[in-house]
Amino acid sequence: MNLARSRRAARNPLKGWQLDPAAVRTIGHDLRRPECILAERDGTLWSADARGGVMRIDAAGRQSLIAPHVDGHFDLRGDAHRSLVSGTLPNGLAFAANGDFLIANFGTDRLERMTRNGDLHVVCDTLDGLPMGKVNFVLRDPWDRLWLTISTRVNPWTDAQRTGLADGYIALLDERGLRIVADGFHFTNEIRFDARHEWLYVAETTAKRVTRLRVQPDGNLTDREIYGPDNLGAGLIDGIAFDSYGNLWATMILADRLIAITPDGELLELFADGDASALARFEREFASGEIVSSETLLATGGQLCRWMASVTFGGPELRTVYLGGLRSTTIPSFPVPVSGLPMVHW
């Protein structure tokens, strides 16, 4: 029996499962915009940090900031606009083959590489002689190719938080250099491969959906299609990750919902924590097609992981989930009934 058949024969372990807040524990303290989290086998966690690098948290809870220099500009309570559109903002993270950090910097609009000692250099910041746009996420595959998502070419990027705009793209960096392999996305966010690396799955934030594209041997992407529901409901999709059964987990930021799309395309809601009245106001403004006001945005979010942005599997047997939040200062974690799909560094 092949893997696909065995999955269909076995009951989906997420069916009927809900996150119990009582099972949640938190890791870390005084974190600054822990948007993306990487987990290692020894229990070490690394989270993106708005001060310009990554925060290391070991299995005992000891933490240390690794950054070339400390940037203190990020302060949503003091100056939300400046915090979001200026300065360094490490966002998506991946490990290079040698353990260095690949950083999609949402503030500097470039892909950076940083050693574990904090030495930083720029991998790329232009494409065909032009600024790349708002660099959001980076993913390394088993062939050591780097896949980048650029959310928008609009500057400031906050003007792209609306329906109808599809100027995001996916770029590939390989032995041929940097090139666009797919274009026309609604605020391209996190991307993931399935277990066989046959399809690349894309979170389209302002379209509230996931699309996927077939990966060709040369890195070209074809056969684009919507995966699962064409509208995932309240909030905006941000982070995604596969489990070993084939469920695609996703975070719906602002609504602070944790959801999953089953291999059959069914939507499962695993947790919801957003402020109902603030969320309703956001949805009304967003549906109008106009740019949502910062006042409306800042009123949204829940208590467990404010502005829930990413989901990461780690821990023994990859049976622990870690959540990253743009307005969180800790990392919530909890046991889950299915192991995560191992990433290339695992």
pLDDT score of 85: 63
Overall average pLDDT of the 151-175 stretch: 94
Any domain includes 274: yes
Any domain includes 140: yes
Any domain includes 162: yes
Q: Which of 66, 60, 91, 87 is nearest to 75 (CA)?
A: 87
Amino acid code (one letter) for 115 = T
**Chain segment 47-98, per-residue pLDDT in tens:** 999 999 999 999 999 999 999 998 877 776 666 666 666 679 999 999 999 9
pLDDT score of 145: 98
**Chain segment 34-46, per-residue pLDDT in tens:** 999 999 999 999 9
Read off the pLDDT band of 1 (50, 70, 90). very low
Any domain includes 330: yes
pLDDT score of 6: 52
Overall average pLDDT of the 284-311 stretch: 95
Amino acid code (one letter) for 210 = V
Say whether pTM exceeds 0.85. Answer: yes
Q: Which structural domain range is residue 267 located in?
A: 26-335
β-strands 135-140, 146-150: how paired?
antiparallel
Q: In the chain, how many domains are there?
A: 1
Any domain includes 55: yes
Any domain includes 321: yes
Per-residue burial over 192-230, b if 16 or more Cβ lie within 10 Å, else e, is bbbeeeebbbbbbbbbbbbbbbebeeebebeeeeebbee
Overall average pLDDT of the 143-161 stretch: 94
Alpha helices in 225-340 (DSSP H): 276-287, 294-298
Give percent above pLDDT 90 in the chain.
Answer: 89
Any domain includes 99: yes
Any domain includes 19: no
Query: What is the overall mean pLDDT for the chain?
Result: 94
pLDDT score of 72: 77
The enclosing domain of 286 has a CATH number of 2.120.10.30
